[in-house]
Amino acid sequence: MSLDGRIRTGLNADASELDPAIDPALDVVLERGPRRRKARTVARSVGIAAVVSVFLAGGFALRAVRGGGAIPGDGSLTQVSPIDGAWQMTITVQDGLDAGLDYGRARQLAGPRQLELSLGVVREIRPESFETVPVNGTFRVEGPFVVVHDHGETLVFRWTIAGGDLRLSLSDDSRSSAGDAVDRLTWTTHTWHRIR
């Protein structure tokens, strides 16, 4: 009987009747199976890790290119800036009305905000809300100014820190005047309080 026939017979037989010691070829097949599965698992893991690392590195490079070349050549992305940290503030509907927005837009923008600045990456979100588009971009500190790049837009703020509070004032905005009003509201209406 051929090896395939013996394997088929062995697989179709009741497991209690199978004795791998009787058929040495079947014992070799059973022995190779777990080794090959382990080798395939290791190879897949290494392959997945390589693909994920390529996507992460490529995504970071694309973000930097789209951000208007915000990665400085002096390696300052790996340096902690004076404003690195996590910050928060809350915008009220009245703040939006005072900024000249209509009630609907003021209500949409009202609520808590969180700002994360870390090693040249900026993230500003409204926790637990999908009503406003978050900021995910890059930043660099140039003396008393911080330059933020996000989705092809550039914002320049003057910054000051007093105690655990960060104060931003908008110096330049590449967006239209309507965008300028929203940026002033969401970034500069109140001081940002450090949360970590």
150 with 135: CB under 8 angstroms? yes
Domain of 107, CATH number, reads: 2.40.128
Please indicate, yes or no, if residue 71 is contained in any of the structural domains.
no
Digit-coded pLDDT (tens) for 63-120: 554 444 444 444 445 578 889 999 999 999 999 999 888 999 888 888 899 999 888 8
Question: Looking at residues 30-44, what average pLDDT do you find?
Answer: 71
Q: Minimal CA–CA distance to 183: which of 192, 195, 191, 173? A: 173
Answer yes or no: do 37 and 88 share one domain: no
**Which of 5-14, 39-48, 55-64, 113-122 shows the lowest mean pLDDT across its residues?**
55-64
Question: Does pLDDT of 175 surpass 90?
Answer: no
Question: Does pLDDT of 20 surpass 60?
Answer: no
Q: Domains in the chain: how many in total? A: 2
Burial class (CB in 10 A: 0-12, 13-18, 19+), 187: buried
Answer yes or no: do 56 and 92 share one domain: no
Please indicate, yes or no, if residue 70 is contained in any of the structural domains.
no
CA-CA-CA-CA torsion sign (107, 171, 60, 192)? negative
Answer yes or no: do 58 and 130 share one domain: no
Q: Minimal CA–CA distance to 108: which of 130, 140, 139, 79? A: 130
Give the model's pLDDT for residue 57. 63
Give the model's pLDDT for residue 39. 74
Give the model's pLDDT for residue 65. 45
Looking at 13-157, list the stretches that DSSP marks H as alpha helix, in order from N- to C-terminal side.
24-66, 93-98, 103-109
Separation of first and last alpha carbons in the chain: 73
Answer yes or no: do 49 and 107 share one domain: no
Give the model's pLDDT for residue 31. 60
Supply the mean pLDDT for the chain. 77
Please give the structure tokens belonging to residue 183. 């940026």
Give the model's pLDDT for residue 66. 45
Q: How confident is the model at residue 40 (pLDDT cuts 50, 70, 90)?
A: confident
Answer yes or no: do 165 and 89 share one domain: yes
Answer yes or no: do 156 and 180 share one domain: yes
In three-state secondary structure terms, 89 is: strand
Domain limits for position 99: 76-194
Q: How confident is the model at residue 6 (pLDDT cuts 50, 70, 90)?
A: confident
CA-CA-CA-CA torsion sign (11, 16, 22, 24)? positive
Please indicate, yes or no, if residue 140 is contained in any of the structural domains.
yes
- Of 76 and 121, the structure prediction assigns the larger pLDDT to 121
Please give the structure tokens belonging to residue 52. 């994920």
Classify residue 156 as left (phi > 0), alpha (psi -120 to 50) or beta: beta
Answer yes or no: do 116 and 186 share one domain: yes
Give the model's pLDDT for residue 145. 94
Instruction: Please tell me whether the overall predicted TM-score, pTM, comes out greater than 0.85 for this model.
Output: no
Give percent of the chain above pLDDT 70: 71
Question: Looking at residues 57-67, what average pLDDT do you find?
Answer: 52
Token pair 């600045």: residue: 117
